[in-house]
Structure 1
Amino acid sequence: MRKLSCVIITLIFQMGRVTAQSPVLDKNKVMDFFQNMQYEEAISYLLTAEKMDSVNLQTLGYLGYAYQQNDDLNNASKYYQKMLDVDSGNGSANLYFSSLYSDDEPAKARQYMIRLITSNPKKAGFYRKMGDLFRRENKKDSAFVYYEQAFRLSPYDSKNGAALADLLIDQKDYQRADSIIEDGLARDSVSVPYLKLQVKSSYEAAAYQKVIVPGERLMRLGEGSLSTFTQVVLSYYIMNQYRDCIRVCDYLVAKGMAGENIFYYAAKSYAKLREFEKSNELLKTCLGLAISTTAEYYFHALGDNYEELKQYKKAFAQYDTAYYLFKDPLMLYDCGRIQDQYLKNEDAAKKYYSKYLLFAKPQSTDEKKAYNYIRKKYLKEK
């Protein structure tokens, strides 16, 4: 809850300068309490001042802040509300409540933010925060209106440009988003928010080559998020640049940012380079991290690698385990194929093929061809 303090502390202290100071309040003493984090002492002192002047905004604001820093949000809210009872347009109190409700009740938070905008119609940051509140409820059209106004008022503030560009990417308006991002990077070539958005825009527009420059720059800066670097990893993989894909994966592992999908694409890259032993080690790591049905892909990939290594019994075991755990009929086909083509066990192959024909629901062209081949083969035998 202390996150609220960073947002409003400046306004509270500014309020202390513009509000008539209580004749019984020593502002320097209050500042000393705050500087030394003596919030209990500050509260005790301020409550005495409040008894003598219960509507003084400076005293009420300091009490709200002291309770907030003391992790007593009930009393903090009580005193900020008292400020609004005296002055409904008070900036500190409205900003406090808009921040307090922003995560769980964005609609309620907007009621306070609109007061701030009304009192400060040229402050870009308030429009951007209003846009954030609408976006939390997925009201993108309304969010766009406020982001656009924030950007219009202060186009050189990267927070405003980044918020608008991010929403434009979601709306697939890549051309305008890229224009804002490029202008921002022309002013600051190492702006992390703009570099991350450049990766996102290029990746979602399937312009994978354009992902590389901002992605590599973020790596040199030691910045970025897992989602951003996952898009860099996938771009290298899609472009068949497997060594670079592995290099970015290694960077994420060293940073402690790697999840199972990162190990998976490193494993797939090693497999493409025919380094199957390394691939298998990483796939086993994936299995240790896996949750839900994503583990099926890892068993299947392990099976593929063991086939390439001509270790057919191990390949069969991976496909068989995948079917046992996840009941995908295609795994039965692979089991039958291994028994038929490599292990030369016709009875076992028939068992798996027959079960496959019973449960299969072929979707892709390749699977339909395989299904029809097996079906015709067994119908012919019968």
Structure 2
Amino acid sequence: MKNLCTCLLLFFLSAFCYAQNTPVIDKDKLFDLYQSQRYADAAVYLKSIFNDDTQDIKALTQIGYCFLMAGNNVEAEKYYSKAYQIQPHSLPILFSLGNISTKRGNNDKAKKYYGEIAKIDSNNFNVYKLLTNLYPSLKDSLRFVYLLKANQINPGEGDIAADLAEVHAVSQNYDKAYEVLNIAIKADSENLVLQRAKLPVANQLKKYQEVINSGERLMKDGMDAAVIKDVAKAYYYTKNYNKAIKLFSLLENLLMQNENTLYFTSLSFRYLKNYKMAAVYAKKTIDEAISPNTTSYYVLLGLVYEENSQFALANSAYKKGLQFKANPTIYYRLATLYDTKLNQRKAALNYYQLYLKSKPNAADDKEEIKFTKDRIAQLNLAD
């Protein structure tokens, strides 16, 4: 293989150098620069031979290629753009410009160049694959169009099949997703990515035994959380609740549980009439579903209401936050609200005391703690 690459490189250099009448290129020097991967030096060398206004397409693309390989995308684009003006329908030039545009984050330009390739060669699989990456949203209609076209050209290509199946699944076209994955798996039966992607689709189609059989084999190759979840669900749907619980618990041991897996665990215990554990996991499900920041959001809402003199609404917001998680901040806000805005001193005293009991940070909340202690003393004297 190494000898073949060397021969091809020598052939390219010979053809490149032979095509130039003037000036003469030292092909041995250029070959050495390529061999040692000194592409920046090769670009500088070629630039020293050709004028900036050269119209030689081979020279322009070769200099552009050297800059591209050297990581200088600005100069690479400059020379490929000159070549593009001379040969606007050259696929290699368009691919290079599309690649450079993507690297520089200019997706609109990349779409333009790749779109031109698609017009010239409507059966070019690679360009449709590249175009799909420029439309990351699963709900983007153009992503679906390009995925569909690429899959039609090469239905056995795993990456495109998996991506297309995902788009079908988002649209709840599970039959189509299953068919796309099946065809690709037949072309590459050892592709574990495709096999994993098929499990949630098969679950949706109630092919539970297939999920169990395939999933159990996949779990022997590694503990993938998504696979475990899909197999556990299949066991749940086939009423094998003990096995479902075992797998859901495994996810919990791996710290990979989520609201959904905890919910199914609770249901499984319920069907086994283990109501104690069903209640435990129902509570875990609720805790998992609630953001740890929910209380903070209600504090913010209460502050907004309070600053807008909507004191009743502020009171409701703060108390709603307490239902999720009590923290020093929310007790302090309620205390000052009752004390300074609602003139309910008894309630204020209660929340000031709860604030101190909730152990606020002695360093960060130094001023609030001092104020609270002083205010409690004043309110107690007033009584």
What range is the shorter-chain TM-score in?
Answer: 0.5 to 0.7
Counterpart amino acid of residue 33 in structure 1: L
Q: Does 1:155 align with 2:155?
A: yes
Q: Does 1:43 align with 2:43?
A: yes
Residue deviations 1:274-296 (CA, integer Å, cap 9, x gap): 898xx99xx8xx99xx96459xx
1:76 corresponding residue in structure 2: 76
Deviation at 1:111, TM superposition (A): 0.8
C-alpha change, 1:242 and 1:38, in structure 2 (3 Å) is farther
Which residue of 255, 258, 263 maps to 1:261? 258
CA contact (8 A) 1:249 1:263 kept: no
Aligned residues: 280
Deviation at 1:262, TM superposition (A): 9.6
1:109 corresponding residue in structure 2: 110
C-alpha change, 1:265 and 1:33, in structure 2 (3 Å) is farther
Residue deviations 1:73-97 (CA, integer Å, cap 9, x gap): 2222222222212222232332233
Whole-angstrom distance in 2 between the partners of 1:69 and 1:55: 22
Identity of aligned residues (%): 20
Structure 2 unpaired stretches of 5+:
1-8, 296-320, 328-349, 351-383
CA contact (8 A) 1:49 1:59 kept: no
1:59 corresponding residue in structure 2: 59
CA contact (8 A) 2:175 2:205 kept: no
Structure 1 unpaired stretches of 5+:
1-12, 295-320, 328-350, 352-382
User: Which aligned pairs between 1:88-99 and structure 2 lie closer than 5 A?
Assistant: 88-99=88-99
Q: Does 1:174 align with 2:174?
A: yes
Residue deviations 1:24-61 (CA, integer Å, cap 9, x gap): 34566545434433233223222223338833333333
Whole-angstrom distance in 2 between the partners of 1:139 and 1:293: 32
Residue deviations 1:276-324 (CA, integer Å, cap 9, x gap): 8xx99xx8xx99xx96459xxxxxxxxxxxxxxxxxxxxxxxxxx9846
C-alpha change, 1:38 and 1:108, in structure 2 (3 Å) is closer
Whole-angstrom distance in 2 between the partners of 1:45 and 1:268: 68
Q: Does 1:185 align with 2:182?
A: no
Whole-angstrom distance in 1 between the partners of 2:146 and 2:62: 31
1:5 corresponding residue in structure 2: none
Deviation at 1:112, TM superposition (A): 0.8
1:165 corresponding residue in structure 2: 165
2:128 corresponding residue in structure 1: 127
Whole-angstrom distance in 1 between the partners of 2:116 and 2:15: 19
Whole-angstrom distance in 1 between the partners of 2:70 and 2:249: 43
User: Which aligned pairs between 1:186-201 and structure 2 lie closer than 5 A?
Assistant: 186-201=186-201
C-alpha change, 1:206 and 1:137, in structure 2 (3 Å) is closer
CA contact (8 A) 1:293 1:326 kept: no
CA contact (8 A) 2:294 2:324 kept: no
CA contact (8 A) 1:131 1:147 kept: yes
C-alpha change, 1:227 and 1:57, in structure 2 (3 Å) is farther
C-alpha change, 1:31 and 1:251, in structure 2 (3 Å) is farther
Residue deviations 1:193-215 (CA, integer Å, cap 9, x gap): 32132123124556555433333
Task: Decide which structure has the larger Cα Rg and report it.
Answer: 2
Counterpart amino acid of residue 90 in structure 2: N
C-alpha change, 1:123 and 1:260, in structure 2 (3 Å) is same
Whole-angstrom distance in 2 between the partners of 1:17 and 1:116: 27
